[in-house]
Structure 1
Amino acid sequence: MSAPPRPRLEGHPPTPGPSIAGPARAASGGGAAKVVGRKAVPVAVRPDQQTGDGRYPIAWLTISAPRGATPSATSVCECGRNLFAAGHRKALALIADHTDHKTRCPLRTDQEGAAAV
């Protein structure tokens, strides 16, 4: 036996009558009621992280040192640098090299000393 065909959802007017959904209490039993259904629920929006001063990150250093496992580090820069090191000594050396790369990176060169045109 086959099921009856489902009606198309496009173009159907909203179903008249009261809404089935109603206010629900928070799981803890206290606090304000949450409105469920057709009403919008306000959401906390974080402010934009961009400060608008023109700065943005171009280099990232990721360090992973789980307890009892081999530490590792990754150094990535928009200039094309993408290095990985595993092991305690090699990770420490890469961290030092990443710090030094900040002064040598062609994308971070200081333009204040350039001659004015």
Structure 2
Amino acid sequence: MNTPSRPRLKSIAPTPDQPPAADQAPPRTTVGEPKGAARKGVPSALRPDPHPGDDRYPIAWLAISSPRYGHMPTATSRCECGWDQRAIGHAQVRALIEAHAAHRTTCPLRNPREGRAAA
């Protein structure tokens, strides 16, 4: 009797009993080391602000618009103290402009009462 021939098999690698070692990471650049043009002495694009803030900011706005000549103008006056007025038409817009200017003297944010009494 003849022994049946075995079919050809691909080579089977032995199963490892431990996981493979991790790949080594490439070396990192040192923190603070100049790169590219900075290494050659080119000035940086980030410069200090030439206009430092003086702690002032807007608190009231007056917006006036008229789409075309001959159309009704509109205006809005707003302040952070809660003042919020709107006007439509020539006469009302003029009155709102005057009221906005008068509000500057009475606004509690622009003219705090405590500071005057303390001084």
* TM-score for both structures, normalised by structure 1: 0.52
- Letter paired with 1:57: P
Q: Distance in 2 between matches of 1:69 and 1:95?
A: 18
Shift of 1:53: 1.0
SS at 1:114's partner residue?
Answer: helix
CA distance in 2 between partners of 1:80 and 1:101 (Å): 11
Aligned to 2:77: 75
Q: What TM-score do the two structures reach when normalised by structure 2? A: 0.52
Deviates more, 1:60-69 or 1:104-113: 104-113
Match of 2:107 among 92, 105, 108: 105
**Gapped runs of 5+ residues in structure 1?**
1-43
What's the CA shift string for 1:5-50, capped at 9, x where partnerless? xxxxxxxxxxxxxxxxxxxxxxxxxxxxxxxxxxxxxxx99x9697
- Structure 2 unmatched ranges of 5 or more: 1-44
Three-state SS of the structure 2 residue aligned to 1:96 is: helix
Equivalent residues in 2 for 1:25-36, closer than 5 Å: none
**Which SS does the other structure have where 1:90 is aligned?**
helix
- What amino acid is the match of 1:113? R
Structure of higher CA gyration radius: 2
SS, match of residue 104 in structure 2: helix
Aligned-pair identity (%): 56
Partner residue of 2:86 out of 84, 87, 97: 84
Q: Which moved further from structure 2: 86-95 or 60-69?
A: 60-69
Aligned residue for 2:40?
none
Runs (4+) off by over 4 Å: 47-51
- Give the count of matched residue pairs: 72
Return the match for 2:117 from 99, 106, 114.
114
Secondary structure at the aligned position of 2:92 is classed as: helix
What amino acid maps onto 1:63 in structure 2?
I
Structural RMSD (CA)? 2.8
